[in-house]
Amino acid sequence: MNRIHHLRLIDHVPALFVLLTIGSVLAGCASSAASSTAGASRTHSPATAASTTATARTFTSRHYGYTETLHAGWVSASQASHHWDGKGAPGSEDSVVDLFQGPGGVQAWALAVPTKESLAAYARATIRAAHAAHPCPAAPQTNQAITIGGAPARLLGMQCPAGSGFLVETAVTVRHGTAFVFASQNPSGTRPTDRSAFREFLSGITFPP
**Domain map of the chain by residue range?**
12-21+48-206
**pLDDT bucket at 92, cuts 50 / 70 / 90:** low
Question: Whole-structure pTM over 0.75, yes or no?
Answer: no
User: Whole-angstrom Cα distance, residue 171 to residue 59?
Assistant: 18
CA 129 to each of CA 9, 86, 123, 126, 183: distance values in angstroms, whole numbers, following the listed order: 9, 14, 10, 5, 15
**pLDDT bucket at 171, cuts 50 / 70 / 90:** very high
* Residue from 101, 102, 95, 103 nearest 79 by CA: 95
24 burial type by CB count under 10 A (0-12 exposed, 13-18 middle, 19+ buried): exposed
User: Whole-angstrom Cα distance, residue 75 to residue 197?
Assistant: 12
Q: Between 130 and 194, where is the model more confident? A: 194
User: Whole-angstrom Cα distance, residue 76 to residue 204?
Assistant: 13
User: Whole-angstrom Cα distance, residue 67 to residue 60?
Assistant: 4
Encode pLDDT of 104-129 as tens digits. 999 999 989 899 999 999 888 778 76
What is the per-residue pLDDT for 197? 97
Q: Topology of 12-21+48-206 in CATH?
A: Protein Transport Mog1p; Chain A (3.40.1000)
What is the per-residue pLDDT for 207? 96
What is the per-residue pLDDT for 86? 54
Question: Residue 146 in contact with residue 153, Cβ under 8 Å?
Answer: yes
Phi, psi of 175 (to 5 degrees): -135, 120
Encode pLDDT of 137-165 as tens digits. 889 999 999 999 999 999 999 888 888 87
What value does the mean pLDDT of the chain take?
74
Quickly count: other Cβ atoms within 10 Å of residue 134's Cβ. 17
Phi, psi of 93 (to 5 degrees): -85, -10
Encode pLDDT of 6-15 as tens digits. 333 333 433 3
Encode pLDDT of 48-91 as tens digits. 333 334 445 899 999 999 999 999 999 999 999 988 775 433 45
34 burial type by CB count under 10 A (0-12 exposed, 13-18 middle, 19+ buried): exposed
Classify each residue of 39-60 as buried b or exposed e, where b means 16 or more C-beta atoms within 10 Å of its C-beta.
Answer: eeeeeeeeeeeeeeeeeebebe
User: Whole-angstrom Cα distance, residue 15 to residue 13?
Assistant: 5
**Roughly how many angstroms between the first and final C-alpha of the chain, as a whole number?**
43
**What percentage of the chain reaches a pLDDT higher than 70?**
67
